[in-house]
Amino acid sequence: MFKLTWRNTIRHPLRAGLTIAGMALAVLAFCLLRTVVAAWYVGVANASPSRLVCRSAISLVFRLPMAYLPKIQAVPGVKAVTYGNWFGGVYIDERNFFPQFSVALQSYFEIYPEYQIPEEQKPAFFQDRRAAAAGRQLAARYGWKIGDAIVLQGRIFPGEYRFILRAIYTGREPTVDEGRFYFNWEYLNEAMKKNMPSQADQVSWFLIEVARPELAPTVASQIDAMFKNSLAETLTESEASFFQSFVSMTEAILLAIQVVSWLVIGVILIVLANTMAMSARERLGEYAVLKTMGFRPRHLAGLILGESLLLALMGGLLGLALTFPAVQVFKTQMGQYFRVFPLTRLTLGLGLGTALAVGVLAAALPAWRAARVGIAAALRKVG
């Protein structure tokens, strides 16, 4: 049975080859688009339930006074607190964009154990006021090495800032962002005291680690209640909710990408269904002969279904094979915007599963017709 199915599949090599190529391109496009969506949500997926983000209730643009730090630390259930600012500087020119943060170095990297710094780099990194840390991908992108001087031109915080690269961190998991740049908040604050005193001793957010995840809602409510009706009211939310707020700004784009990914599959479904319908129509006479030889309707349906599944499987596997180099090319070209581009097993499984589902659906109607056709009617149509 398989031998006959295989011979039917390769009977028209050009048609089969084009169908397989079309399926491969559809699966490739589907996997890439789904990976883009996953990259958008990677921050939400990696968020810890034990971490809270406290920011201005008005907007992230407005800062909070450092005087809030000891008050937050005193809230029951708070295990650790750190803080930071978005820096927004320029390296050489505007095209060289990468995320830059001024943070309380030691407490920040204690709360974020997924950012791993080699032990031998920690003393210089934590002691040098001008120290900076870059992710492994970011350092590789610009060829930075430990001890290199890095100069950023401030935009939000005007001025020229000179850093020494003291650490290169790596991600504990493949989905950890290795494209960020961190430096000492104290260094930035000193510059603000000299150049812009009104902007000194302020932070964009406080990052809070709670003792147990179930305490997070209570701690968040207590912090916001503490600063209610103050000059700088706060909004404290889970880390996942904080990242989700950024994703929600582009939900229309994400929805469009997901719709397009399924439309691509719909198009290849129509193409494969047309291929199978043509094949079944051309072989009506053969099916009539097979029926006279004792083949039952289920055997004929199996032949058509098997041919469709073989085409879908070969196209799906080829598409998955092409996805790996395509992802690497995409990361190279778009790494500035997608520093984590996670091609997961779920995406690969969904791509192959969708291809097989297309094979089944495309064969359904032709198989049904071939199984029901009468011997005399089939031979008369051919003749």
**Cα separation, 184 vs 186, whole angstroms:** 5
Question: What per-residue confidence (pLDDT) applies to 290?
Answer: 64
**Cα separation, 117 vs 125, whole angstroms:** 9
- Distance from the first to the final alpha carbon of the chain: 27
At residue 281, does pLDDT exceed 90? no
Q: Are 286 and 322 in contact (CB under 8 A)?
A: no
Question: What per-residue confidence (pLDDT) applies to 80?
Answer: 95
Out of 57-61, 156-160, 232-236, 291-295, which region has the weakest mean confidence (pLDDT)?
291-295
Residue with tokens 């201005």: 56
Main-chain phi, psi angles of 257, to 5 degrees: -65, -45
At residue 2, does pLDDT exceed 80? no
**Cα separation, 179 vs 337, whole angstroms:** 10
At residue 383, does pLDDT exceed 50? no
Where along the chain do its domains lie?
Answer: 2-42+250-382, 58-232
The arithmetic mean of pLDDT across residues 252-275, rounded, is: 82
At residue 302, does pLDDT exceed 90? no
**Cα separation, 323 vs 331, whole angstroms:** 12
Contacts of 135 by beta carbon, 8 Å cutoff, 6+ apart:
168, 169, 170, 171, 177, 178, 179, 180, 181, 339
* Closest of 85, 74, 71, 53 to residue 228, by C-alpha: 71
Q: Higher pLDDT residue, 232 or 374? A: 232
Question: What per-residue confidence (pLDDT) applies to 253?
Answer: 78
**Cα separation, 290 vs 301, whole angstroms:** 12
- Percent of the chain past pLDDT 70, that is, above it, reads 86
Question: What per-residue confidence (pLDDT) applies to 307?
Answer: 81
Residue with tokens 């939900």: 251
C-alpha distances in Å from residue 185, one per residue of 5, 259, 300: 68, 43, 73
- Torsion of the alpha carbons at 212, 215, 221 and 227, rounded to the nearest 10: -40
- Please provide the DSSP assignment of 263-311 as one string: HHHHHHHHHHHHHHHHHHHHTHHHHHHHHHTT--HHHHHHHHHHHHHHH
Residue with tokens 């997961």: 344
Contacts of 334 by beta carbon, 8 Å cutoff, 6+ apart:
341
Q: Is the dihedral of CA 31, 33, 37, 39 positive or negative?
A: positive
Question: What per-residue confidence (pLDDT) applies to 379?
Answer: 55
Residue with tokens 């020119």: 93
Question: What per-residue confidence (pLDDT) applies to 34?
Answer: 85
At residue 376, does pLDDT exceed 60? no
Q: Are 208 and 77 in contact (CB under 8 A)?
A: no
283: pLDDT confidence band, cut at 50, 70 and 90?
low
